[in-house]
Amino acid sequence: MPRKRFWSRLTAALFLGTVLIVAIGYANATAAPVVRRLNLQVSDYPADARPVRIVLLSDVHVHAPDMQPSRVTKIVDQINALRPDIVVAAGDFTGNNWIGRDYLPAEAIAPLKGLQTRLGAYAVLGNNDYQAGAGDVARALESAGVRVLRNDAVAVGPVALGGIDGRIHHSLAAWAAARQATYDALEGTPGVQVLAAHRPDEFVPAPPSVRLVLAGHTHCGQIVIPFFGALESGSDYGMRYLCGVHRDGSKLLVVTAGLGTSHVPLRFGAPPDLWLLTIEGAAAVPVRN
């Protein structure tokens, strides 16, 4: 084969291969979220309380082309079909992709108004929400009927739900103050202590009284290369709390892969997901999908 023809065919093959990889990654990113399930039994659960069903979502990252408001509406329908008592959204509602269209917080978050719950929807802000304007994001969430928890806690049925603000502080003192305010609020709220946090890093300093930490931020790696692993985690603990369920004594951490994408609208080895968690009256049994 003449050298010129060889190189032209090789170039074409590489181009087609790249297009195929991008197409697969985009299809992965825009697939319906996988629903993962976890049953958590706690010894101090109120004897007269019915089990409570919590749907955890995170990292919606509303940004075209992969996460337009119309897709958020479809995901809301999927959440409602799970019949949650509580919805917890662990931050990063706004997008940060390098390509495509941004949406104003009000437009991006409006579809969440369709959430149907027995005990309400709650959220913490993420680092990207601060970049987009934390005040605008918080107001959009409240307008959609989602209560924003910023270093405070609220009684939600049998659960004491605390939310630590997702702002990235630049001093240890500020971090310590935000955490302590949240822990104090939880201690003053009746119920099984559940902490919502954008980053899984909050699992480590959380006191033993916190039974469950719900987090996102990592996207479970978003792009996970076979035999190599995730390109990054966004966590100070590296890959330790990248994804899924982790236990430390009486504490349990659940890290969702989130729904949207960061930087590029692609996913490999880390499909978008939602978690349906059922808390009832003594060891956590993860249900694999």
Band of pLDDT at residue 289, cut at 50, 70 and 90: very low
Of 286 and 166, more confident: 166
Return phi, psi of residue 43, to 5°. Answer: -70, -30
Cα separation of 232 and 240, whole Å? 11
Q: Kindly report the number of other CB atoms within 10 A of residue 18's CB atom.
A: 10
Q: Kindly report the number of other CB atoms within 10 A of residue 31's CB atom.
A: 11
* Interval 20-33: pLDDT, tens: 777 888 999 999 99
* Interval 160-192: pLDDT, tens: 999 999 888 788 898 899 999 999 999 999 999
Please report the sign of the dihedral spanned by the C-alpha atoms of residue 182, residue 185, residue 187, residue 193.
negative
C-beta of residue 165 within 8 angstroms of C-beta of residue 125: yes
Which region among 178-182, 237-241, 275-279, 284-288 has the lowest average model confidence (pLDDT)? 284-288
Query: Which two tokens mark 53?
Result: 């069903």
Burial of 243 (0-12, 13-18, 19+ CB in 10 A): buried
Query: Please, which residues have CB within 8 angstroms of residue 139's CB and are 6 or more apart in sequence?
Result: 105, 106
Cα separation of 267 and 281, whole Å? 37
Q: State residue 168's pLDDT score.
A: 82
Average pLDDT of the chain, as a whole number: 91
Q: State residue 229's pLDDT score.
A: 87
Query: Please, which residues have CB within 8 angstroms of residue 135's CB and are 6 or more apart in sequence?
Result: none
Q: Kindly report the number of other CB atoms within 10 A of residue 216's CB atom.
A: 32
C-beta of residue 134 within 8 angstroms of C-beta of residue 95: no
DSSP state of 141: H
Of 221 and 232, more confident: 221
* Interval 56-100: pLDDT, tens: 999 999 999 999 999 999 999 999 999 999 999 999 999 888 888
C-beta of residue 254 within 8 angstroms of C-beta of residue 244: yes
DSSP state of 149: P
Q: What is the pTM of this model?
A: 0.91
